[in-house]
Structure 1
Amino acid sequence: MSIQFWCVRAVHCVLLCLTAAFALPERSTDAADRPNIIWIMSDDMGFSDIGCYGSEIETPVLDGLADHGLRYTQFYNTARCCPTRASLLTGLYPHQAGIGHMMNDRGYDGYRGDLNRECVTIAEVLRPAGYRTYLSGKWHVTKNTRPKSHDDKHNWPLQRGFDRFYGTIHGAGSFFDPNTLTRDNEFISPASDSEYTPDQFPGGQYYYTDAIADHAVRFVREHRRDHDAKPFFMYVSFTAAHWPMHALENDIAKYKGRYDAGYDAIRKARYRRMIELGLIKPSSTELFPIEESAKETEHWDWDKRNMEVYAAMIDSMDRGIGRIVESLKTTDQLDNTVICFFQDNGGCAENYGRGGKPQPRQDTPSLEPLDAEYLQPDMQPKQTRDGYPVRTGKGVMAGGADTYIAYGRAWATVSNTPFRQYKHYTHEGGISTPLIVHWPDGLNRDGELEHTPGHLVDLMATAVDLAQADYPTTAHGGHAIKPMEGQSLVPTFRGQSIERDAIYWEHEGNRAIRQGDWKLVAKGARGQWELYNIANDRSEQNDLAQRFPDRVEAMAALWTAYAERANVLPLNPKPKKKQ
């Protein structure tokens, strides 16, 4: 059936008293008129890493959502974790929200490493519109990960519009003992958490991917029980499959031997599958080659294990999403819930933990066990809870809590099939993401592909549209709020087009602009502009800059105008020196 538009019955009420230092007028509308909205984001995964986008990794839940929903073939993120989160949460380009790089202050408004007060989060927009707001998973949009006072939590989830939060403030960490683990506003230890105990762990031991999914399920059920008159918004921010390669042994065993054929064979199989699915066309998307220097030969068994663990991490996440979907079914909320799945950046070629000599695993613990209440402070723990040193290096078989290793450039190239480059870069491999939209009550394009280009900034505009919310012009005590940058995707739910001038990117000097089928892209602050026709060359192998200099000049001027207005300049500034 076609999308049914609802009538707005807006009644302005008294100002909500929020924990954040802002207030917006609440608008009351029947929950039945508006859908629940769930954003699900994975971490450090490539365009081809789930089954319905070409992967051999088993993701039946996501595949099922795609079969009864819509798959976008040209959707984009911002190439890096925290800029993507800033952009997603605010509907702005990341520099406009203050997070053009990572969580440090580089001395310029676009690079403060904290969400600024000239933006509002999606929770700050939807809560005054009558939505309950929930977050389970990774936050990573503030540098105050170790606050000394409550005031230092001004950019924590509850202070930026969320009613409930379970997850991590920091951007990376152990899946078995995550640092900055938080419930609502307080740090907790997974080993002493009375609200989430071993009898509730699906895999028999604490595993962060399971915990994120299980708390999302809890929020769904508690919402149905306690707040059924309101719609809800929930942001589920998984850390799978970001390094370290951590997974439960039963999940790893499922993929043992799956990658024996090697990097090239797996990548070619994905490429063929993507063509069969209609995601790419062989006439316009060649298979970008894997660099020989990236392939492991001496340590092949070790690197094969890394990919087996990576696949296990994604498999586990898919099952967790399945539990969320099942909770929506059992609470009779699935049909009127818009679920969007996407990724924060392309596959990660970082070599974290892959260098140096391997440290052998000891037969018995050599360190004192940690107290259950101990709050693990480090991104890379020094030891496991039971006293084993955490190990890195080639030859250390990934998976367990005592290892801390990334899966490397060759496998990242497989993840990004068939595109060029990786996380950090604004070539297609760094910024291309799946987008699956599932909404039984409002979508009747089961299993269809949508080729309209889109960007994460569009998800704020889409949520505002669906929720009949008012995007504010001022907030946070009178601060002027920057206008949304995106376009609502709701027309594409009906097979209609959306109009936009261009889409823009910048990260670490890597920069790009897409205008229609044309993309201008450069690698590094000093890199020369390259020009590609994405309709004919999605894998960016035939640079047309010399052939069309006038187009290069015109698009570069557009990008510069964007950079000047969006706090992008200066390009890639150095971190601010500590006083």
Structure 2
Amino acid sequence: MANGGKASDPNILLILNDDMGFSDIGCYGGEIETPNLDRLAANGLRYSQFYNTARCSPSRASLLTGLHPHQTGIGILTYSNGPEGYTSNLNRSCVTIAEVLKQKKYKTYLSGKWHIASNLTEPTDAWPLQRGFDHFYGTIIGAGSFYNPNTLTRGNDNIEHEAENDPSFFYTDAISDQAASYVRQHKVENPDKPFFQYVAYTAPHWPLHAHDEDIAKYKGRFDVGWDRLREQRLQRLVDDGIIHPNWQLTDRDPTQPPWTEAQHREWTLRCMEVYAAQIDRMDQGIGRILAALEETGQIDNTLIIFLSDNGACAEDIPQGVTARELVDQLMIAKAQTREGEPVQFGNDPNLMPGGEHTYQSYGTAWANLSNTPFRLYKHWIHEGGIATPFIVHWPNGIKERGGLRHNPSQLPDVMATILDVTGASYPKEYNGNAILPCEGESLVPSFSAAYGGRGPLFWEHEGNAAVRIGKWKLVRKYPDAWELYDMELDRTEMHDLAAQHPDRVRDMTEQYQRWANRCGVIPREKILALMEAQGETAFWEEEKQN
């Protein structure tokens, strides 16, 4: 089956969103209205212990290649002035899902965020068309205005003018509409070939931009505050069988006040309302993609996968952040709106988020809610940083409807799964370059029945690290000591057992170190020294651990 795709081979639709917590969407316990994702879950499978790699670029690199991010050159982010040792650019020791499936005559499409190339303005061999995609519409950069994004690109050509000249442009809608258009275009132009489509939303990554009508839907939805909402979410997760009833709800983040003492209440609520509206808008767009699949008769034989690239984001955008940092250095914003008004950067409680003239984030307390019931956030390898909702829908290949799967899995398993269901061959060499072996294990056995046979799972990001072997998870919040948790009894990581099991800690640490050495993980101490020598000051690289 490795040659010549045919219409009976399954289509693959891979949907990734950005900076969304484990329990935000409806089918994972949240208050946000996501009827289209809920429908996919009700007619497919939900996984309760699927993991990403805690940060945007590394997760995207791992998802698309079936490798750990360090092996692909994307150890942290994609700015070319990053620490030595990681190229900050998708290297040639890996192949993307698109490159693999093109060898089997799949047509390949990408709509949305790329964020795995260091050159943001000139096409390189790390851009989508050069990495296996026949068609690309989206952004090369990792974040930005939803009304007027930087690096908007079609193929290899910058098309920022399309957003600048269109008062109705909104990036989430543009991603959805292009994806739906690709579905219809494929049916007309390539009716006898299968497709792979990667849909990569930036929602709900900051800045908090949303339509007024979507924001209005959530007026009052969060008024009881984050403490009560965390309790309510946990109860729904338990009732639905996603979370075990014996797992404790983690404490409120110690840096955050009880809801009864929260300041700037109207602004604070508005931040969460806009965040919810961002996800709502994405779900509306997913509905349009599903409608295109149904209209063209392709939905039954399309394997649809949905997940988030990391846990919820607790990053604050301080009021003192300058346009020079965001606009000139990082290229994740524009200084003016399309009407020429200045964009006001930073979390100013006197300015309600949502409009094009604002640039804000929703903050730690709401991110703590988004990651219910877990600890910590994006950047960290505790469950709040790496646990993602993971939905699989494929009527022709999955008979169970609404099933739950609790087997631990992680991003490289997506490549292994796609290889399994398509019969595509993973190359040892591609375009003259030796290719590292796929690190994933196929999820296909879990499509028909629960199973738990996967090998060890490993993570590292900014010194934060973990290894999970069976029920045991060894995890470190850099530069703190290793912690050990029994994930069958305590997945919310409330009871550190490291002192009781020194031999297990030693063995798992040794296994982690062997993996880190094999996969090219650079010790965090070396990276910090290099960053200091280079004077790197990007605001998200501040050491929140200190």
Query: Could you tell me the TM-score, scaled by structure 1's length?
Result: 0.87
The letter of the residue matching 1:240 is A
1:161 aligned partner:
132
The one-letter code of the counterpart of 2:132 is G
Residues 306-350 of structure 1: CA distance to partner in whole angstroms, max 9, x if unpaired?
000000000000010000000000000000000000000000000
Q: Is residue 2:478 matched to residue 1:515?
A: no
- Check the 8 A contact 1:178/1:376 in 2, yes or no: no
- For residue 181 of structure 1, the aligned residue among 146, 149, 152 is 152
Matched residue type, 2:408: P
Q: CA deviation at 1:229?
A: 0.8
Is the Cα contact below 8 Å between 1:357 and 1:394 reproduced in 2? no
Question: What residue in structure 2 maps to residue 444 of structure 1?
Answer: 399
Instruction: Work out the CA distance in 1 between the residues paired with 2:172 and 2:196.
Output: 20
Corresponding residue pairs, total = 522
Aligned to 1:463: 418
In structure 2, what is the equivalent of residue 254 of structure 1? 217
Q: Secondary structure at the match of 1:273?
A: helix
> 1:543 and 1:67 mapped to 2: Cα distance?
36
Given residue 386 of structure 2, which amino acid in structure 1 is its aligned partner?
I
Contact residue 358 and residue 396 of structure 1 kept, 8 A: no
Question: How far apart are the structure 1 equivalents of 2:420 and 2:31?
Answer: 36
Instruction: Indicate the SS of the match to 1:31.
Output: coil
Q: 1:498 to 1:544 in 2, by over 3 A?
A: closer
Q: Name the residue aligned to 1:348.
A: 313
Instruction: Tell me, yes or no, if the aligned pair for 2:353 and 2:360 is still in contact at 8 Å.
Output: yes
Worse-matched range after superposition: 252-261 or 136-145: 252-261
Residue 443 of structure 1 aligns with an amino acid whose one-letter code is I
* 1:515-534 equivalences in 2 (<5 Å): 515-524=469-478, 526-534=479-487
Which SS does the other structure have where 2:524 is aligned? coil
- Confirm whether residue 65 of structure 1 aligns to residue 40 of structure 2: yes
Per the alignment, in what secondary structure is the counterpart of residue 233 of structure 1?
strand
Please say if residues 408 and 454 of structure 2, whose CA atoms lie closer than 8 Å, have aligned partners that are also in contact: no
Following TM superposition, by how much is the alpha carbon of 1:532 offset from its aligned partner in structure 2, in angstroms? 0.2
- Report deviation, 1:256: 1.2
Partner residue, 1:544: 497
Shift of 1:146: 2.0
TM-score (norm 2): 0.92
Contact kept, 8 Å, 1:426 with 1:523, in 2: the verdict is yes
- Deviation at 1:67? 0.3
Moved more, 181-190 or 505-514: 181-190
Which residue of structure 2 aligns with residue 18 of structure 1?
A: none
Match of 2:67 in 1: 92
Q: Determine if the alignment matches structure 1 residue 242 to structure 2 residue 205.
A: yes
Q: Does 1:401 align with 2:356?
A: yes
Aligned with 2:54 (options 73, 79, 91): 79
Q: State the match for 1:268 in structure 2.
A: 231
Q: Is the 8 A contact 1:49 1:55 kept in 2?
A: yes
Contact 1:356–1:394 under 8 Å retained in 2 = no
> Is 1:54 matched up with 2:18?
no
Q: 2:304 aligns with which of 339, 357, 367?
A: 339
Matched, 1:208 2:171: yes
State the secondary structure of the residue aligned to 1:546.
helix
AA partner of residue 102 (structure 1): L
Distance 1:124 1:474 in 2: 12
User: Unaligned regions of 5+ residues in structure 1, if any?
Assistant: 1-7, 11-26, 199-203, 360-374
The structural deviation recorded for 1:269 is 1.1
Q: Which of residues 312, 317, 326 is equivalent to 2:282? A: 317
Match of 1:14 in 2: none
Answer with 1 or 2: which has the greater Rg: 1
Does the residue aligned with 1:504 lie in a helix, a strand or coil? Answer: strand
1:504 is matched with which residue: 445, 449, 458? 458
* Residue identity in the other structure for 1:488: S
Distance 2:416 2:274 in 1: 36
Counterpart for residue 246 of structure 2? 283
User: 1:381 corresponds to which residue?
Assistant: 334
Which of 549, 554, 568 pairs up with 2:521?
568
| 2:459–2:465 CA contact under 8 A, matched in 1 | yes
> 1:31 corresponds to which residue?
7
Q: Counterpart of 1:419?
A: 374
Shift of 1:145: 0.2
2:507 is the counterpart of 1:554: yes
Distance 1:192 1:381 in 2: 12
User: After superposition, what is the alpha-carbon deviation per residue over 1:170-227, rounded to whole angstroms, capped at 9, x for unaligned?
Assistant: 000000000000011100025468xxx96xxxxx811100000000001000000001
**Aligned counterpart in structure 1 of residue 107 of structure 2, from 123, 132, 146:** 132
Superimposed CA distance per residue, residues 438-497 of structure 1 (whole angstroms, 9 cap, x where no aligned partner): 001111110010011110110001111111111000113x22100000001111001153
| CA offset digits 1:493-552 (Å, max 9, x no partner) | 01153633300000000000010010000011x320000001111110100000000000
Relative to structure 1, the CA distance from residue 376 to residue 58 in structure 2 (aligned partners, 3 Å threshold; closer, same or farther) is farther
Instruction: Give the match for residue 538 of structure 2.
Output: none
**Deviations along 1:341-373, whole A, 9 cap, x unmatched?**
000000000002x435999xxxxxxxxxxxxxx
How many Å apart are 1:138 and its aligned residue?
0.3
Native 8 Å contact 1:246 1:309 kept in 2: yes
**d(CA) in 2 for partners of 1:514, 1:358:** 41
* Secondary structure, counterpart of 1:259 in structure 2: coil
Output one character per residue of 1:408-461: Cα deviation in whole Å (capped at 9) or x when no partner: 000000000000000000000000001100001111110010011110110001
Query: Aligned in 2, Cα 1:438/1:107: closer, same or farther, shift over 3 Å?
Result: same
The answer for the alignment partner of 1:219 in structure 2 is: 182
CA distance in 2, matches of 1:348, 1:414: 11
Q: Matched residues in 1 for 2:284 and 2:455: separation?
A: 39
Structure 2 CA distance for aligned equivalents of residues 192 and 319 of structure 1? 20
Relative distance call for 1:167 and 1:516 in structure 2 (3 A) is same
Q: Tell me how far 1:394 sits from its aligned partner.
A: 2.7
Q: Give me the whole-angstrom Cα distance separating, in 2, the residues matched to 1:107 and 1:330.
A: 48
Q: Distance in 1 between matches of 2:143 and 2:490?
A: 34
CA contact (8 A) 1:99 1:112 kept: yes
CA distance in 2: counterparts of 1:78 and 1:288, whole angstroms: 23
1:312 is paired with a residue of what secondary structure? helix
Report 1:111-122 matches (<5 A): 111-122=86-97
Aligned equivalents of 1:133 and 1:402: distance in 2?
36
Indicate the residue corresponding to 2:116 in structure 1. 141
Q: Choose the corresponding residue for 1:494, options 437, 448, 455.
A: 448
Q: Tell me which amino acid in the other structure corresponds to 1:481.
A: I
Q: For 1:75 and 1:415, how far apart are their aligned partners in 2?
A: 16
Q: Which of 265, 268, 282 is the matching residue for 1:300?
A: 265
Query: For each residue in 1:158-178, what CA deviation from the matched residue of structure 2 results, as whole angstroms up to 9, or x when unmatched?
Result: 000000000000000000000
User: Contact conserved, 2:172 with 2:285, CA < 8 A, in 1?
Assistant: yes
- The percent identity for this pair of structures is 52
Deviations 1:256-291 (A, max 9, x none): 121111111111111111111111022124343233
CA contact (8 A) 1:464 1:471 kept: yes
Shift of 1:377: 9.2
